[in-house]
Structure 1
Amino acid sequence: MIPGAEAYDIDIAIDDTAIDGLLEVTPADVDPAPELSYCKNVFIPLTTACRYTCTYCTYFDPPGDASLLSLEEVRDICRTGADAGCTEALFTFGDDPDERYTEVYDQLEAWGHDSIHTYLRDACEVALEEGLLPHANPGDQTREQMATVADVNASMGVMLETTADVAAHAGPRQKVPGQRLRTLQNAGELDVAFTTGILVGIGESWRDRAESLLAIREMHERYGHIQEVIVQPVANNERWTAGSPDLETLRRVTAMARVALSDSISVQVPPNLAPARELLDCGIDDLGGVSPITDDHINPDYAWPALRELEAIAEDAGVPLRERLPVYDRYLPESLRSPAFHGVPAAGVESDDDREWLSPRIRRALEVVGPSTR
């Protein structure tokens, strides 16, 4: 039983036979992707307040030190990103702050907000006004919280990380796998194109990795909404000194992800954290969002590669490199898809071909960005 599944009304039962089969997968069982993609984004660390205190994370700040960007600061970052040719406004977050963050809540109240989610909505509106497509990662969300911001986001995301109960999720309030899965389910019920992923090397077992990938697959089979899965290694930093997984581990788990997941789901590795060149034959087809102007605020010790480095990775693989939007082409109306799109539209559940993945607000924004920019 996945920890927290019953409490969060998650009905997922992963078959042991499926886990055993996935554990037999090696890189030799997958083919390299015919192309690689990436998205040009700008990181916007809306708040560093977080209810959790995971031992591998340097992003959160303790109460009294946590930051909260003003909308003026958000606009300045977005404007700089748009001028640099970015298409995505990536709103990074600590999970919804708890009651310890009195200064954050006092500031939100002073700005006329009773929650971080209503404030996020305003921030997404600013990004849209500046010509960027929002992709927000506010962590665990109830259906009501997600609905507050879904229509002003081109896509959203949260890392599942693992279905296991690991010691790295330390502290009085810990991430609960069932709650993370509930967030994925909420996105599916709300027709939100969604990004998720697993974090490798935080104390999970190989069976946990297989179970995590299969849980993501089951969610996608129900709703058709998972656009990409990130295979992310934990990295050393000032709070985590236990090391990163070795290359053979990353190669094997990446191949497992490719075999476990639908062909319609992209498998991504972050090129500033993972040895992308050594994973090209393991089924990856995306190099994630990279920023020409802002740091990776989640992993500030690991700089983004320049575009020429991504081009070199694709050249090594002998495949084209394509810039994409924060929402994948298969979730777009046909008129807005890239001319290079050769995939299958994401209709979700096969019997439901009329799903509207994008709100009218996002459709209007996409008409400005348009396929001609890619």
Structure 2
Amino acid sequence: MFPAADEYGIEIEIDESDVERLLSVTPADVEAAPSLTFSRNVFLPLTTACRYTCTYCTYYDVPGQASLMSPEQVREQLRLGADAGCTEALFTFGDKPDDRYTEIHDQLADWGYDSIVDYLYAMCELALEEGLLPHSNPGDLTEPEFERLREVNASMGVMLETTADVDAHAGNRRKTPGQRLNTVRAAGRERVPFTTGILVGIGEDWRDRAESLLAVRDLHERHGHVQELIVQNVVPNERSDYEGPSLETMRRVVAMARVCLPEEISVQVPPNLAPARNLLDCGIDDLGGVSPVTDDYINPDYEWPALRELHDIADEGGVPLGERLPVYDRFLPESPNGDSDWVTERIRTALAADDDAGRRYRSLVGKW
């Protein structure tokens, strides 16, 4: 179905009738969720280096300008987040940055790390020490990398974006649908509770959106690992003039996602980018990670809403708003319906700890 995935041996067969069904979906075909959730996080842009040069992205910096957070800077931010009552340490950076940026690689070597993955592992350990559960978004990873990083991560993620070949990903350094699908599959094979998503408005058409959603469903049906899917609208920024999708488009895509995906997968929109108030009746049930102490470094021009604003969104929809952990209940042994095979001993120990962090974690389990 997706030729770009052939080199990774990924076989995803999508029934044409499923595509046609999704293309016919409207917001009238779904019901509003009974509640909304969010995760309170501290955002840590470990490095702004990336091997890709996507035309809509303001996150990456060119070689010679990219930053790399030091362990001291990471610890400072972690403590800031812990003091603000956060439960999630959101680590993010570009794909394989030390492959392209010699200065980043050299700095890591000076600190005693062979790669950015090694460094991420150590910083996740630091997060656990400071009372936060790591959720890492490190771009495309292999199965051995997931196997290692899952030990110190409560959950992980990567945006699929689209299964289509779009000009937004063009150039010598381009991400491909096959690479992204391979990463989503690798996470499932290594039993990592996983977040993924589609990006709306980067040149894909309606059929591409339907096929992307069905590809996520297919991989989840095999591995059971997808905990949430983000429907994210592209936004104008200093590097691109992509015209964001209309409200009507977002309403329809969110409804398609809700109809396509099984009930256990949450459908999320980022409240600093998308008109969440106008999407409540289309099936969203999560507002993602929101930080009370750090910026959205992926979209720095778009501030996080305050917690009061999240409550306002939920109140307008007549639904309760609840805080959750970065890993969903069904993956936790502490939850009545949880499965102990999904989180490692390191994470279970953190959840069971008799300290402020452990008690804070457990207070959120089983509530939503």
What TM-score bracket applies, with the shorter chain setting the length? over 0.9
Alignment of 1:313 with 2:304, yes or no, is no
Counterpart for residue 352 of structure 1: none
Map 1:34-53 → 2, pairs under 5 A: 34-53=34-53
The equivalent of 2:105 in structure 1 is 105
One-letter code of the match for 2:350? Answer: A
For residue 370 of structure 1, the aligned residue among 358, 361, 368 is 361
**1 CA distance for matches of 2:50 and 2:184?**
19
State the alpha-carbon separation in 1 of the partners of residues 3 and 174 from structure 2. 11
The farther-off stretch of 52-61 and 174-183 is 174-183
- 1:4 shift after superposition: 2.0
Q: Distance in 2 between matches of 1:44 and 1:140?
A: 18
Q: Size of the alignment, in residue pairs? A: 359
Does the CA contact (< 8 Å) of 2:98 and 2:116 recur in 1? no
Moved over 3 A (4+): none
Q: What residue identity is the alignment partner of 1:193? A: P
Q: 2:348 & 2:14 partners in 1: Cα distance?
A: 37
CA contact (8 A) 2:37 2:321 kept: yes
Aligned-partner residue type, residue 4 of structure 1: A
Separation in 1, partners of 2:26, 2:317: 19
Moved more, 171-180 or 211-220: 171-180
Tell me if 1:165 matches 2:165: yes
Distance 2:142 2:221 in 1: 21
Where does residue 303 of structure 1 map in the other structure? 303
5+ residue gaps, structure 1 = 348-354
Indicate the structure with greater helix content. Answer: 2
Structure 2 length-normalised TM: 0.95
1:267: which partner in 2? 267
Query: 1:59 is aligned with what amino acid?
Result: Y
Q: Structure 1 pair 297/133, CA: closer, same or farther in 2 (3 Å)?
A: same
Secondary structure at the aligned position of 1:6 is classed as helix
Conservation of the 8 A alpha-carbon contact between 2:98 and 2:115 = no
Write the distance in 2 (CA, Å) between the matches of 1:245 and 1:46. 30
Q: How does 1:123-142 map to 2 (within 5 A)?
A: 123-142=123-142
* Percent of aligned pairs sharing the same letter: 67
* CA RMSD after TM alignment: 1.2
Counterpart AA for 1:101: Y
> Does residue 121 of structure 1 match 2:121?
yes
SS of 1:39's equivalent in the other structure is strand
1:4-43 superposed matches below 5 A:
4-43=4-43
Residue 90 (1) aligns with residue 90 (2): yes
Measure the CA separation in 1 of the matches of 2:330 and 2:109: 39
- The amino acid of 2:363's aligned partner reads S
CA distance in structure 2 between the aligned counterparts of 1:196 and 1:100, rounded to whole angstroms: 25
Structure 1 residue 371 displacement after superposition = 2.2
Shift of residue 346, structure 1, vs aligned partner: 6.3
Q: Deviations over 1:33-58 (max 9, x none)?
A: 00000000000000111000000000
SS in 1 for 2:228: strand
Distance 1:208 1:183 in 2: 19
Q: Which residue of 2 aligns with 1:351?
A: none
Question: Match of 1:18, as an amino acid?
Answer: D
Residues 283 and 373 (structure 1 numbering): CA distance in 2 closer, same or farther, change over 3 Å?
Answer: closer
Asked whether the equivalents of residues 60 and 66 of structure 2 are also in contact (C-alpha less than 8 Å), the reply is yes
User: Is residue 143–residue 186 contact of structure 1 (8 Å, CA) maintained in 2?
Assistant: yes
> What SS class does the counterpart of residue 4 from structure 1 fall into?
helix
Contact 1:195 1:228 in 2 (8 A): yes
CA contact (8 A) 2:332 2:342 kept: yes
Using a 3 Å threshold, how does the CA distance of structure 1 residues 373 and 260 change in structure 2: closer, same or farther?
A: closer
* C-alpha contact 2:155 2:327 (8 A) present in aligned 1: yes
